[in-house]
Structure 1
Amino acid sequence: MKKEWLSIASIYVGTVIGAGFASGREIIEFFGVYGINGIWGMFIVGIILSLIGSLLLIKIYNNKIRGFDELICNIFGKRFGVILDSIITFSLYTGFSVMVAGSGAIFSQELNLSFNLGVIFMVVLSFIVFLFSLEGLSFINTMLVPLLVIGIIFTSLYLNIREGYNFSNINGVNLTLKGNFLTSALLYVGSNSLIIVVVFSSLLPMINSKRTAILGGVTGGFILSILGMSILTSMLIYYNEVFLLDIPMLKICDYISNGYRKFYAFILWISIFTTALANGFGFMNKVSNSKYKILITALYCLLSIPVAKLGFSKLVAVLYPIFGLIGIFVLIFILVAL
């Protein structure tokens, strides 16, 4: 029997583990700055992601929600729903643009190729997958997410065992603009909530029972927690050397070998690709009934390029906390109202 819950878990992981996550930039911004307390923050994130993933999938199954537009209108009403829908559409656009920027950064830093080539490569491949809708998203995530999991966990275990978990950033700071490690954890969940809600609201064809919903949500949340811990502990060992870098995990991989750095760059690009697809799939679902679907999707992809050129780390630092606040509000409202 086909394991739908594994496909759902793969989509969950692929949706969240984007350029900011796998590169370590997002992990430093939200957790690494707090030192050891950041580990507690990531542990809390894992619990929350498992809970909200399961609850959201169960509610979508029980209420037979077939798309994000239907979800928003049922809960928020038509007037406010239009405003919220506009905000989320913008977040899908900027989220895709951040991933496109990450692809450009990898091509530039690791392959010594043009930043623009990396941007175009991501845009073209994403557009091709978008043409296959949910089937394309499910297939790509089921194939690529296992590679992500293996690559990230191996890197962390190798470095931490070799260095004896000797962290260079233990105490960290107590407060940042995001608050402490607890509020930062909540903001992190919130920053991913919008895209999670959008993608999950389209997964009804894959949810054949409550058991599938629970297993998919819990498994996805658990894997994300393990991957986050793996990257965070590696960040804490080499924190002083990498905390200002756009893609700190690639610098860390230099401590293994230059060849391994290239391998991890491939892993990182996969993580960027899966999250770019998640953002694009959310947008695609909104225009699925339009006769201009292909043209609109092409414009969506092309219009990401100007935003991508603003730079990867700048986009992560500015946009993610803002969408975090919006995401927390939307997620709590949905879980209570459905």
Structure 2
Amino acid sequence: MFGDIKDILKVASIYMATVIGAGFASGQEIMQFFSFYYEGGFYGIILAGILFALIGYIVLVKVYSERIRNYEEFLFPTVGWVIGWIMEIVVTLFMGSVLCIMVAGAGNIISNAISIPYRYATLIAVILCMIAFLTDIKGIVTLSSFVTPILVLGILGAGFYVIVNRDIGIFSLASDFDSVTNNWFVSSLLYVSYNSISGVVVMCSLLPYLKSRKIAAAGGIFGGLMLSFIAIVLNILLYLFYPEIISDELPILSIIGRHNSILGELYKILLLLAMFISAITSGYGFIERIGNKVKVSRKILIPVICGFIVPISNVGFSELISSVYPLFGYMGMFMLFMILLQGLNMLVSRLFGRGAPASLKGAFKNRNQ
């Protein structure tokens, strides 16, 4: 019994780690995709949590049941070869985009910490990432499994501390700030959609941790619901401290730092580490995919890629999130739809078994070819 709980928590933690990146922990994603919709933001977070739980359940149970070992084994039977190759390109581009966004965020922290111009700070962040890529320090991927739980505890601990010790008289948002869409429902779908691009990639590698169907199902559901709970805590914080943090690149860090300087410094270190881990892990995936297509030495390819990152990252952390993530949200919407369709297929098979109506079985089979 205890072993099952431990395995469920491990699976849920890995799933949560794909979403709780630096954009999430900094509050910038929550602010842009949820907070600007007033109370609708909370509805959006609840919807996102339900969808994350459904996606986690569907993908992980499918991985366990069909003994799926990698992303390709899940992707191509689900969406077909043509859409599958398109999604492969989308995944590659998304990894490159995450690398740029995390470098931008790290540059912002470095710039504020040592008081240098932002463009030089992003250059320092790129150089550090390039050193990691060239020296092949893959141990940092393992480090992410330790950082993410600490980051979760840091978010919840600091969040509750500030909420309890703060006057909650201010509880409104401005209507003059641009949001990613015109309503919370579409924004929530986009948020789940682009996060599912990387989430599915990671979940498809979790077969060694899925010792039973119960662990797969519970891990996915618990991970999704916990993401919603943490996002609600962050959203409350953002509401409480409006309008002071509306223009901050790293709003949660600003809130914690203004309320308690020691907590702020600790959270800054943790957030910076999370950004570098996200940058390097996504960068490894991006470089590996490009390297498989282009026959160029890694010692040449890596500096070239890092050279392109510098001007893109200088656009700014919040600007990149507001423009890049919604774009990939729309791109990943088809994958989100197909995963939910797979879940409906699983439900039909479970309810009817071998006696499922032929018309239903045929419809699902045709869609998955």
Give the TM-score of the pair, scaled to structure 1: 0.85
Q: What letter corresponds to residue 84 of structure 1 in structure 2?
A: M
Measure how far apart 1:330 and its partner are: 0.9
1:120 counterpart = 2:127: yes
Which residue of structure 2 lines up, in the alignment, with residue 39 of structure 1? 42
Measure how far apart 1:335 and its partner are: 4.0
Q: Distance in 2 between matches of 1:84 and 1:227?
A: 29
- Sequence identity of aligned pairs in percent? 31
Q: What letter corresponds to residue 128 of structure 2 in structure 1?
A: F
Shift in CA distance, 308/239, structure 1 to aligned 2, threshold 3 Å: same
8 A contact 1:160–1:234 mirrored in 2: yes
8 A contact 1:197–1:331 mirrored in 2: no
Q: What letter corresponds to residue 227 of structure 1 in structure 2?
A: I
Q: Distance in 2 between matches of 1:216 and 1:189?
A: 17
Shift in CA distance, 332/279, structure 1 to aligned 2, threshold 3 Å: farther
SS in 2 for 1:64: coil
8 A contact 1:14–1:275 mirrored in 2: no
8 A contact 1:97–1:308 mirrored in 2: yes
Shift in CA distance, 280/71, structure 1 to aligned 2, threshold 3 Å: farther
Structure 1: runs of 5 or more not aligned: none
8 A contact 1:123–1:301 mirrored in 2: no
Q: What letter corresponds to residue 19 of structure 2 in structure 1?
A: V
1:198 counterpart = 2:201: yes
8 A contact 2:35–2:238 mirrored in 1: yes
Deviations 1:18-52 (A, max 9, x none): 22211111111011111233122212222221221
Which residue of structure 1 lines up, in the alignment, with residue 329 of structure 2? 324
Between 234-243 and 70-79, report the one with greater CA deviation: 70-79
Shift in CA distance, 221/80, structure 1 to aligned 2, threshold 3 Å: closer
Q: Distance in 2 between matches of 1:118 and 1:112?
A: 15
Measure how far apart 1:56 and its partner are: 1.0
Q: Distance in 1 between matches of 2:155 and 2:46?
A: 17
Shift in CA distance, 97/79, structure 1 to aligned 2, threshold 3 Å: same
Structure 2: runs of 5 or more not aligned: 343-367
Equivalence map 1:56-205=2 (5 Å)? 56-112=59-115, 114-115=120-121, 116-125=123-132, 131=138, 137=141, 139-169=142-172, 176-205=179-208
Measure how far apart 1:236 and its partner are: 0.4
Shift in CA distance, 50/249, structure 1 to aligned 2, threshold 3 Å: same
Which residue of structure 2 lines up, in the alignment, with residue 241 of structure 1? 244
8 A contact 1:25–1:248 mirrored in 2: yes
1:308 counterpart = 2:313: yes
CA RMSD of aligned residues (A): 3.2
Deviations 1:227-256 (A, max 9, x none): 211111111011211112211112212332
Measure how far apart 1:66 and its partner are: 2.0
8 A contact 1:190–1:327 mirrored in 2: yes
8 A contact 2:170–2:241 mirrored in 1: yes
Point out the structure with max Rg over C-alpha.
Answer: 2
Shift in CA distance, 230/46, structure 1 to aligned 2, threshold 3 Å: same
